[in-house]
Structure 1
Amino acid sequence: MRELQESWPREVLGVSIGKHLKITRMTSELTRKDAVREAAASGIPAALADLGALVRIPSIAFPGFDGAEVQRSAEAVAALVEGLELFDSVQITRADIPGTDEAGQPAVLAARAARNGRPTILLYAHHDVQPAGDESLWESAPFEPTVRDGRLYGRGAADDKAGVMAHIGALRTIKEALGADFDLGVTLFIEGEEEAGSRSFAQFLADNAEALRADVIVVADSGNWDARTPALTVSLRGNTRFTVKIRTLDHASHSGMFGGAVPDALMATVKLLATLWDEDGAVAVAGLTERDAATPEYSEETLRDEAGLPSGVSPIGRGAILSRIWNKPSITVTGIDAPSVANASNTLSPEITVVISARVAPGQPAREAYAAIEGHLRAHAPFGAELTFLDQDYGDAFLVDTGGWAVGTALEAMHEGYGVEPVQIGVGGSIPFIADLVRDFPSAQILVTGVEDPHSRAHSPNESLHLDTFRHAVLTEALLLEKLDARTTDS
């Protein structure tokens, strides 16, 4: 109502004409919104069926997995996009990985030009998924979509094939509600290697800069406050991931013959890794920074429920819980090559390999954080252990500029789509490529949204999508598209 009133040309219109114009505009707006709501609701069964078909494709982009499945996933997404009959072009394309002779995984790129002064929106999601891991931990097969208790289970059901289908479902809704000749420009970019590090992302942006240029970018790869409350992600931690080899011996030796005098690599590794945290479990690496920012109330009880933390295990760190997750660094050992229990023998291990993943507080460059961690490990290497660092990856943190008009428009669409006041949240996870988007498209307003909730268990066994959240997400994005279609770029 307020926006309509502010748009009247009061200096020209008389009171009676102004009232008539107000009623006409309100009627038109309600008609469009009602049409969007009806189309969104009627389109959910088809969207969920298509999501199930995508979940059945094990599109894992990591080395060692079948790349043909990622290609098959891209082809399935491209077929869905072509079926919209909205785009001037739809293609499956790859970019080279810089510094290698390899090509990246297949992405789907589609575009339609804006008309009559309307803005262009870029819709991003990714169709690759995490490996299933230990399938015995799944209650149903990871690549067989299964509905239980209002949730759809399967690898990629939430992260991020639901994001793909939220975009497609919203575009189907707009076509049904407004017709295919709407004026909004739309670019659809469905990546194929986000889970594997987006190694060709920067090159892809360079190769397709003109096609990807937009006024607003929606990255549908985050989450919500809970299953009922929508959220716009306004901060993300950065990350650095690397491998370190710890060597103390030229070869394995008998633990009885030399144990007690010769340090084995596993002992050195345990002592070294323990220096990364203090007694409270907070990161103890000099040079890693924290961000000073307020966070909402969030209880230890909620943390236990959402993270699966048993009552006998204490949380780690200090300060407000969400500050520990959103605004402070964390370090996790995500993999270790050491003798297995099944192959244990009375042997001193000569070398151990560890993968370390660190989350970096917003405001600190990822490379600076990596340098601090490497320096710490070298300074604390016990018994003169030899350290070798390799396979470093970096992703910078992201802070949204909330001053642009797109944030307000998105929050309004969320309120209308979910029927609940939205919140602005930080997220402890990372989406490193957003820094590339900011660098290459500095004038674009970036909105980070998603369909996950705290119980989605992305990257874990029994990943799932809350079906009502998906319905609301499709409607919300369709309402956002409708609002942008009614807006001119100079308004």
Structure 2
Amino acid sequence: MNIRQQYMTLLEQLVAIPSVSAMETHLPEIATIIANEFRKLGAQVIYDDTYFAPFILAKFLSRNPNAKTLVIYNHYDVQPAEPLNLWQSDPWRLTAHDGKLYGRGVDDDKGNLTARLAAIAEYLIENNQELPINITFIVEGSEETASRYLTAYLAKYQDQLQADLVIWESGGKNAEDIIEIFGGNKGIVTFDLSVTTAANDLHSSLAAIVDSAPMRLSRAIATLFDSLGNIAVPHFYDDVVEPNDREKALVQALPLTRESLIAQHGLTVPLYSDRNGDNLKETLYFKPTINIEGITSGYNGNGVKTVLPATATAKLESRLVPNMSPDLTLQRISDHLQAAGLSDIVITKTLGQPGYRSDMSDPEILRVIDVVANYYHVSPVVLPTSPGTGPMAIIHQSLQAPIASFGVGYAGTKDHAPNENIRLSDYNQHIDVIKALIKRYEL
């Protein structure tokens, strides 16, 4: 079995483990397997299970005393696979057809991790077990739940952490099949809103005189936005760091259009940027959001039940840009509801982490861009941030090194959704480009 087949077998093993951090299931099991794989490759490994999701720190050391250090960040936890009925195959079994690999976590993030392990294994075999740089892997198991305890783990091992460059956990090609490199992401704060309006559900005839819980909750959520979809919470935007001219130019160079976005997702509602005249690309990448993830209340079974619900709950999130505090953002939302006469709406924070943007003109970032351009024979799309979220700010605070993200995905990967998949060709290309990046440090 060659190296790539060996790590494809590992990927199959990892996908089979439902390591859902939201459920706190199977995390020590999968972390132990990954730590052992690092040991087999000759890394110095720290395995720390102080918290519910074990932390792995694996070091490959160069014999060059002046070697730079590359840190690679990955995670082994995944999103839940539900709704299961929408999967074409078992989400917990790696399935291959039509040149694609299917399974929960095959892109986010088990495919990226195994491709990088394969790259190092091949490089070591091809270069007499020597590396021109030190390579440190940071692998955690709570990325999908806002990287709980990552800050504590990093603080515990701070004396063993230093970096010249960080390669992020994922990434891929855009709808035009051009590889993207991004250097930042939005932060997030997630929270529940709940309200109770009576001791129990009431007969709906009382709707003439009694406010229901879902009505009151809906009214509270509606106050968060103006008629154009802008966030109406006072001071919500006060701490936003505006993008500089270079960051704006990088985003404006994206091939993304209003029409392609609508076609890609089958959208049937107007875009907010259509309503308020804002720049679509700058809004997507540089503005914070408030989103309703779900609302639960009343009777949702078959047929009719004429009831006035006494309780209602909604799950919301706010995506944050650099300099926005998760806690302060949530406090401003709470203050707004209080001022609106909705003090009975209970706010419960669930997760939170800040946002971050790299300087995409840093020499180490430029090295990555050059390696990627030479390998793919096309200039990559370079972005200062992504509209998604991850613990970049936490990693940067600890390592103080620029961050570049690219990976095995493509526009049809369907992260977090049913039928998550990658193309085998992209997987193999990522192995090659990681090897090319390591080799560049020989110069």
In the superposition, the TM-score normalised over structure 2's length comes to: 0.89
Q: Is the 8 A contact 1:158 1:464 kept in 2?
A: yes
Q: 1:461 aligns with which of 414, 418, 422?
A: 418
Counterparts of 2:9 and 2:279, CA distance in 1: 41
Shift of 1:202: 0.6
The aligned residue for residue 126 of structure 2 is 177
The aligned residue for residue 208 of structure 1 is 157
Counterparts of 2:176 and 2:65, CA distance in 1: 38
Higher Cα Rg, which structure: 1
Q: Is the 8 A contact 2:299 2:307 kept in 1?
A: no
SS of the residue aligned with 2:318?
A: strand
> 2:409 is matched by which residue type in structure 1?
E
SS of the residue aligned with 2:74?
A: strand
Q: 1:299 aligns with which of 254, 257, 264?
A: 257
Counterparts of 1:475 and 1:227, CA distance in 2: 21
Equivalent runs, 1:401-480 vs 2, <5 Å: 401-425=359-383, 426-431=385-390, 433-442=391-400, 444-480=401-437
| 2:11 is equivalent to residue 51 of structure 1 | yes
Q: Is the 8 A contact 2:196 2:213 kept in 1?
A: yes
| Percent of pairs with identical residues | 24
SS of the residue aligned with 1:281?
A: coil
Q: Is the 8 A contact 1:121 1:216 kept in 2?
A: yes
Q: 2:221 aligns with which of 253, 270, 273?
A: 273
Counterparts of 1:275 and 1:265, CA distance in 2: 16
Structure 2 gap segments, 5+ residues each: none
**CA 1:422–1:269 in structure 2 vs 1: closer, same or farther (change >3 Å)?**
same
Shift of 1:474: 1.6
The aligned residue for residue 169 of structure 2 is 220
Runs of 4+ in structure 1 deviating by more than 4 angstroms, as ranges, are none
Per-residue Cα deviation, 1:279-299 (whole angstroms, up to 9, x for no partner): 343433332336353423421
Q: How many residues align?
A: 426
**CA 1:323–1:356 in structure 2 vs 1: closer, same or farther (change >3 Å)?**
same
Shift of 1:458: 0.8
| 2:288 is equivalent to residue 329 of structure 1 | yes
Counterparts of 2:78 and 2:134, CA distance in 1: 28
**CA 1:468–1:278 in structure 2 vs 1: closer, same or farther (change >3 Å)?**
farther
In the superposition, the TM-score normalised over structure 1's length comes to: 0.81
**CA 1:146–1:320 in structure 2 vs 1: closer, same or farther (change >3 Å)?**
farther
**CA 1:340–1:197 in structure 2 vs 1: closer, same or farther (change >3 Å)?**
farther
| 2:275 is equivalent to residue 316 of structure 1 | no
Equivalent runs, 1:30-429 vs 2, <5 Å: 43-63=3-23, 65=24, 67=25, 69-85=26-42, 87=43, 89-95=44-50, 103-114=51-62, 115-226=64-175, 228-256=177-205, 258-289=206-237, 291-292=242-243, 293-294=248-249, 295-296=251-252, 297-306=255-264, 308-310=265-267, 312-317=268-273, 318=276, 319-342=278-301, 345-381=305-341, 384=342, 386-425=344-383, 426-429=385-388
Counterparts of 1:104 and 1:212, CA distance in 2: 22
Q: Is the 8 A contact 2:70 2:163 kept in 1?
A: yes
Shift of 1:226: 4.0
**CA 1:327–1:371 in structure 2 vs 1: closer, same or farther (change >3 Å)?**
same
Structure 1 gap segments, 5+ residues each: 1-41, 96-102
Counterparts of 1:152 and 1:478, CA distance in 2: 22
Q: Is the 8 A contact 1:228 1:420 kept in 2?
A: no
State the Cα RMSD in Å.
2.2
Shift of 1:386: 0.6
**CA 1:279–1:150 in structure 2 vs 1: closer, same or farther (change >3 Å)?**
farther
Shift of 1:227: 6.8
Counterparts of 1:121 and 1:259, CA distance in 2: 63
Counterparts of 2:343 and 2:311, CA distance in 1: 10
Q: Is the 8 A contact 1:227 1:466 kept in 2?
A: no
Q: Is the 8 A contact 2:194 2:217 kept in 1?
A: no
Shift of 1:142: 0.8
